Structure 1
Amino acid sequence: MFQSLILRVVFSCFFLAFSQISFAQYSISGKVTDAETGDPIAFANVILVGTTVGITTDFEGNYLIETRTLADSIKVSYLGYLSQSKPLERIPDQKINFQLRPSSFELEAFVFEAGENPAFEIIRKASERRKDFDKRSLEAYETKNYTKIEIDIDHLSEEFRQRKSVQKVTSVLDSIRQLTNDEGEKILPVFFSETVSRFYYRNNPELRKEVIEKTKVTGVGITDGSTTSQITGSAFQEYNFYKNWLNILEKEFISPIADGWKTFYDYDLLDSVLVGQDSCYKLQVYPRREQDLAFSGTIWINSKTYALKQVDLTIPKSANLNFIERIKIQQELEPTTAGPLIPSKTRVQIKIGQVTPQTAGLLAKFYTATDSVKLNDPQPTRFFNQSVELLPDFGTGTPEFWSENRKDPLSSEELAVLQMVDTLKTIPIIRFYSEGLKFFATGFLPVGKIDLGPWTEFGNYNNVEGVRLGMGLRTNYKFSNKWAFQGYLAYGFKDERFKYSASATRILDRARWTTLKLSASKEIDQVGLEMESLQGNSIFLAASRFGTLRRPFIATTQKLTFQREFFKGFLFTAGLNLFDFDPLYDFYYLEKDTREYRSEFQTTEIRAGLRYGRDEIIIINDNERASFGPSRWPIFEVNYTRGIDFLIGDIRYTKLSFYLYQRVNMGLFGVSRYEVDAGQVFGEVPYPILKNHLGNETLFYTTAAFNTMNFNEFASDRYMSLRYRHFFEGFLLNRIPLMKKLKWRAVANANVLFGSVRDENIQNAPTFNPEGNPIETFGRLDFGVPYLELGYGIENIFKFFRVDFFHRMTYLDNPGAKPFHVKVSAQIIL
């Protein structure tokens, strides 16, 4: 019995040992990343050389192969990258990572000798079923999102690294090995953020909102995360390929499954593969014309439902984009219980090239993971009043919080990025440059609880003031989130006058943006420039006070303004304005009752206005509202002004005005922008109160003026204008070989103005002063004969410059009128 038991034990051990030898498994795992950026490469092919054993990497670039047979080497390949092989060892478990280098590639044209391309039927069915899987068809949905953003400086050339101002930075960079890829190239991280948020969507009407629960932001030059945190969430990283057109960096890109897919794309059916539990068609997509705003890459389509499963798409350098070398979008989509798909993971990489070989490039990486999906439980309309909302305790959060809410722990590279950014912020030269750039861009220099500026008020020169010096400041969010104070004082050494501006704003409600503002100022203005509407453009405002001032006057004003957003996009404004007009040129008007000559006037105005932007994205920028503009719907404005003879006012009149702006995507033909401006002034008034249409006698092109009209050439008390601009985005010039290489783009303009002035307002403006000498007044339009100018031009010349050619079509007999104008401008566009 005992011997039998021993034999059984020995036999069992022998059998187990033999089984392990005969059925031994080898495990090979690792990660595939981009050698230049360190980003994971999803969906790459990993295969044991000489066998059929292989797998594709997951969304994080990881792979795991378990096999009973082992090859001599393992190979990784992916379209757009150089393939790489590495030897294998005869051990049970081994980890082998790959760093693939991007390659320039051109896809060959596929020729099908008979019948239709088999990929077309797949794309046709996927396009027909777009509405079934588009998340916008849901009544409502809510998701929990984790987003991280990293911005790096790359292409650090040796010449750039040897600059004296950069050497202190690169010495720190060299000490952090994780920021060096296998090829020895360096990246210099300057920003890193993590955000956890909840995203809400509602249909009918279509509304969106993101609530930032926690955010952790670190970056060079980032002093207050409250503003930055509002734009680091997932709302600004949404890419829905079930739309016909995707708006990326203000450009419209056609989806590979859009209605007009056959016009823009060619396809190749590569394989039928298993993705998770789903059998999918794997298709290669590429633009028919390399400079069209279209994608190239790979998409996976479910073979049963024809829903998108995965996308790995790139906008290549050959597309007509300035500075952008590559935009890469990877996405995994999961079906909801209702059917439509929601991306579970999205990764976006934007690579900005060097402007010159002596400078550096820029690399921006965005990653969003989505879970906790809730369907068809719409929030009330008032919930969406604010597009982005920060919870009161949105701050950094505990390490435990981030461990629980990250889909994956931060990699060693990302931890090194955080270390580098924190180090850079302490280097004096970095702080100097970052604060300097912010000072130039915003006009203000933060110093504790106040900001000094704007710098445009520090100094100027013109024919009225001579040398002008000034100084200003404002309080910031650190001072108070309920009160905002701002002011400046300036002095002209020629006219020996002080100018000033001061304001106090009480923020009554930040959720429904409600403010009460009291302000007073004494400043030089010019008839027709409407300085009040140019307050947001400090550089243009400063330039308008430089050189020769046209029809200048001293404007003394006191204002009380109330503002409230009643619901999303609907802003109400009301106020009381006191205004004193003191001309610095030969100006007179006839007093209505006595018909006496007067050269000064005062007004008291009651104002009310409504503004509505249905899909305008607004964030609260510390103590101000900042608009990111509309994406689809127009913006409307209606304003009412009543001039009364009360307080200091001595003129009665009424003003009504209407404004409409819209950006329209024209698909293949480019993008259009149009503005409609109309209004009427009721009552007899001096001509500075009329609508003085802005002309442009300078060499420089501006969208704010009629570019063939002279300064102060026309004024109206009834007017309507249409300003239309079209950007062909390469539609025309991409067909011309030479222009295609230059990446020039055609633009077109059409500006038309109808206007007139009633007899009483014409008679109100005498053509002679009391001494009998002639004086300038204003020109007027015949409402039946519109002012018309047509323009065409080329932009993107050397990536910066634009030249426009304008033809003035009407009112050519006016003094000083020229039928043809050439205007130039410089701009930074993509």
Structure 2
Amino acid sequence: MLRALLFAVFLLFSSPLWAQFTIQGRVTDAETGDPIAFANVILKGTTTGITTDFEGNYLIQSRTLSDSLQVSYLGYITQSKPLLNQPDQTINFQLRPTSFELEAFVFEAGENPAFEIIRRASERRKDFDKRSLNAYETKNYTKIEIDIDNLSEDFRQRKSVQKVTSVLDSIQELTNDEGEKILPVFFSETVSKFYYRNNPELRKEVIEKSKVSGVGITDGSTTSQITGSVFQEYNFYKNWLSILNKDFISPIADGWKTFYDYDLLDSVLVGQDTCYKLTVYPRREQDLAFSGTIWIKKDDYSLKQVDLTIPKTANLNFVDRIKIQQELEPSSAGPLIPSKTRVLIKIAQVTDDTAGLLAKFYTATDSVVVNDPKATSFFNQAVELKPDFGDSDANFWVENRPDPLSSEELAVLQMVDTLKRIPIIRFYSEGLKFFATGYKMIGKVDIGPWPGFFNYNDVESVRLGMGVRTNYKFSKKWELKGYLAYGFGDETWKYSGSVTRILDRNRWTTIQAYSNKEIDQVGLEIANLQSNSVFLAASRFGTLRSPYLSTNHGINIQREFFKGFLVKAGMNSGQFDPLYNFYYLEKDTREYKSSFETAEIRLGIRYGRDEIIIINDNERASLGSLKWPIFEVNYTKGMQWLGGDMEYSKLSFYVYQRINMGLLGVGRYELDAGKIFGEVPYPILKNHLGNETVFYTTAAFNTMNFTEFTSDQYFSIRYRHAFEGFLLNSIPLIKRLKWRAVGNANVLWGSVENYNVENVPAVDPEGNPLNTFGRLDFGKPYLELGYGIENIFKFFRVDFFHRMTYLDNPGAKPFQVKISAQFIL
């Protein structure tokens, strides 16, 4: 009897009526191969379904089947696939993006119900912002992949590319379901510890292990510093998020109602939390704002997860799509820490016969510790590499990856390693690096810089030069540099050489000895224009203005005592030999003198409270500050007892800051003030930088002539503003062109003491008139105002400048047009 009963029960539960069907799979983006998190997967014609997890995986268990499985998600074309009548089956989906457009929502009475949810979420931002913690630290795993995509047939048929595509075609995993190919060029994995401290606000990342593979990558140490999580941090509890150096407004920012509309879609269960599911989209299609979906917890109005994109219509160049997905978890103290973040940036083709670019970033966070702040001295270096950061075996990555690498990612690694060995790829990658840095690496030395290989001007006629410097392969403690050039017109050799010893890389400490002999121009000295290569090159070709042969020998030392606080000191012996008709009256004898020697001691301080610095091979490189200004104070003392011809002192003060103004765009200001004490020839004074070229530059006063004004005490404010899409986005025809308005305001106060005026004779010893310098009246500032348009054809900028004062000066032009080319997003 019992046996018969058990048999009957077995038959009952094994019949189709009670059968358990399991359907699983993964939903990915057909263009990028990235997983699509939070997509809706449903048995078509039923209410049985689920959403995909952060990795795009789903698992449905049902007692019944329909004829097909349907996947849908906002911004993608809905797709269905047939089901088989079998208990277990795996079905993967590749969804294609579509234009994200929402119809207008009309509410007949009352407020949009989504507004109250967003209002409460915005009001509680400080409760959940991780920056409100005294401190926190996390262990992070970061993965970055960069691919070339949109490989057009014209691009594939290029002779230089065919060797690459033949290898690409042999790797099936790099082909999506539609047969489109991607060409991987970079892949990295990084395990790091991230530390944050409040009051003062400090950040640091310690790279514990890093594995970098990329075309053109020679030294992993520099790359590893920017592949960690510190540069992939996205906090939606901030009003503005910086992405690709552009500022995007958060959907729960203080001014949310100015930028966004919302729609309350549903109330859903996410894990153990009941959440409001809302769609967000910009009020103005060209604003730098997000579209997509956010989930807000019902019980406390905190963010649970986000899936947001930046629409194509946003006022950005070259960017086809930016997508951010993030899951957040509460810390033990309450504020939220992102547990997983995925960012995709798709760069469009510049022209139809070129390729696009695809960058993927993934960060997983665990081992969170809160409110245990490190000492401020711990944060001295923003990014620190552990001594053995590059030494790791396969077992380490297996143990530290949150998820195993997919078959596609393994194929990416294989392809990158293959590409590095193809000669044509090496040729192009090294060529691009040579153009960008100016140097070509050959073993332990670099040859360059290429702009110094050839010059032509009225003093030297044809000039040929060549330089060499050692690189990190030679030594990470010593750097040697040398440059030699010959002018066929003046038949004179020019040279420069330096030896630098790096004493401490943590508290950046170096000592350098140098010697050089070069042609400079009064007010256009090379040392002041190194960061403005186009303007420098334009000013050094053709006719040189007030040229002189400058010879210098000296020693410099610098040390960073704590984060952002760098102290510099040095001694310099220099000689000024004019190559134009120049004389001054010697202070005591009032005799005519042409050349002079200087002997100087120099001291300087630089402070950037939140400036991000990385070590680029054997040099420091600044990635700018986050929100605080950067200060510099410099003092120079010229002394006769060290061999100089005169006694003097120079004191200068400089401040720079970038200011995010939200809807109004981004402003940048520079304050520059100084005072020179003592009677000196005017080349030692402050010769304010003018601009007689047709090119716009931020380093100069763009309506001032070269050497038009000189001062021994001065104060200037230079302000420039990029309105981004503000103003022009409201004009129907202009907004389609994506032009952006810019503005400039430059003011200069200055004067010269009488004794420095009187030491410049009106004529030379033969009675020929001499050029004298122009002076400013401190009560009447020099003022120029500018406005213009950037992003013309995505590359060009035109500025219109009006000179408002000193219009009676010889050669003064009240109105000038300046042009420039720039690569901006």
Question: Does the alignment reach a TM-score above 0.5?
Answer: yes
Residue 465 in structure 1 maps to residue 463 in structure 2: no
Contact in 2 for aligned 1:804/1:823 (Cα 8 Å): yes
- Tell me the equivalent position of 2:733: 738
* 3-state secondary structure, aligned to 2:455: strand
Residue 509 in structure 1 maps to residue 504 in structure 2: yes
Contact in 1 for aligned 2:535/2:697 (Cα 8 Å): no
Distance 2:499 2:124 in 1: 56
Q: Deviations over 1:250-291 (max 9, x none)?
A: 111110000010000000000000000000000000000000
Q: 1:539 deviation in Å?
A: 5.0
- Tell me the equivalent position of 2:228: 233
Within 5 Å, which residues of 2 pair with 1:131-280? Answer: 131-280=126-275
Q: Deviations over 1:452-511 (max 9, x none)?
A: 111112111111111111111101111111111001110001101000000000101000
Q: 1:535 deviation in Å?
A: 3.1
Give the alignment partner of residue 305 of structure 1, picking from 287, 294, 300: 300
Give the alignment partner of residue 691 of structure 2, picking from 685, 696, 715: 696
Contact in 2 for aligned 1:456/1:539 (Cα 8 Å): no
Residue 631 in structure 1 maps to residue 626 in structure 2: yes
- Tell me the equivalent position of 1:129: 124
**Count of residue pairs the alignment pairs up:** 824
Distance 1:456 1:485 in 2: 20
Within 5 Å, which residues of 2 pair with 1:319-468? Answer: 319-468=314-463
Distance 1:544 1:420 in 2: 45
Q: Deviations over 1:94-142 (max 9, x none)?
A: 0000000001131111010100000000000000000000000000000
Distance 2:68 2:703 in 1: 71
RMSD of aligned Cα (Å): 0.9
- Tell me the equivalent position of 2:10: 16
Q: 1:396 deviation in Å?
A: 4.4
- Tell me the equivalent position of 1:4: none
Q: 1:536 deviation in Å?
A: 4.1
Distance 1:95 1:713 in 2: 76
Q: 1:545 deviation in Å?
A: 2.3
Contact in 2 for aligned 1:140/1:376 (Cα 8 Å): yes
Residue 111 in structure 1 maps to residue 106 in structure 2: yes
* Structure 2 length-normalised TM: 0.99
Distance 1:710 1:538, change over 3 A: closer
Query: Unaligned regions of 5+ residues in structure 1, if any?
Result: 1-6
* 3-state secondary structure, aligned to 1:231: coil
Within 5 Å, which residues of 2 pair with 1:715-726? Answer: 715-726=710-721
- Tell me the equivalent position of 1:39: 34
Distance 1:218 1:144, change over 3 A: same
* 3-state secondary structure, aligned to 2:11: helix
Q: 1:541 deviation in Å?
A: 3.8
Contact in 2 for aligned 1:287/1:296 (Cα 8 Å): yes
Residue 661 in structure 1 maps to residue 653 in structure 2: no
- Tell me the equivalent position of 1:779: 774
Distance 1:537 1:473 in 2: 21
Q: Deviations over 1:16-57 (max 9, x none)?
A: 232232432110000000000000000000000111000000
Contact in 1 for aligned 2:538/2:693 (Cα 8 Å): no
- Tell me the equivalent position of 2:638: 643
Distance 1:383 1:559 in 2: 34
Shifted more, 248-257 versus 537-546: the winner is: 537-546
Supply the AA of the counterpart residue of 1:152.
D
Q: 1:543 deviation in Å?
A: 3.7
Give the alignment partner of residue 540 of structure 2, picking from 516, 532, 545: 545
Distance 2:23 2:584 in 1: 90
Q: Deviations over 1:559-580 (max 9, x none)?
A: 2001000000000000001110
Q: 1:544 deviation in Å?
A: 3.2
Q: 1:9 deviation in Å?
A: 3.1
Distance 2:763 2:31 in 1: 73
Distance 1:646 1:48 in 2: 91
Within 5 Å, which residues of 2 pair with 1:527-566? Answer: 527-566=522-561
Contact in 2 for aligned 1:301/1:307 (Cα 8 Å): yes
Distance 2:374 2:314 in 1: 41
Q: 1:527 deviation in Å?
A: 0.2
Contact in 2 for aligned 1:155/1:186 (Cα 8 Å): yes
Q: Deviations over 1:287-338 (max 9, x none)?
A: 0000001001000000111000000000111000011111100000000110
- Tell me the equivalent position of 2:677: 682
Residue 618 in structure 1 maps to residue 627 in structure 2: no
* 3-state secondary structure, aligned to 1:274: strand
Q: 1:647 deviation in Å?
A: 3.1
Q: 1:530 deviation in Å?
A: 2.7
* 3-state secondary structure, aligned to 1:13: helix
Distance 1:763 1:321 in 2: 55
Supply the AA of the counterpart residue of 1:9.
R
- Tell me the equivalent position of 1:708: 703
Distance 1:801 1:107 in 2: 33
- Tell me the percent identity: 78
Q: 1:763 deviation in Å?
A: 0.4
Q: 1:533 deviation in Å?
A: 2.4
Q: Deviations over 1:674-723 (max 9, x none)?
A: 00000000000000000000111111111111110011100000000000
Supply the AA of the counterpart residue of 2:754.
D
Distance 2:12 2:731 in 1: 72
- Tell me the equivalent position of 1:824: 819
* 3-state secondary structure, aligned to 1:12: helix
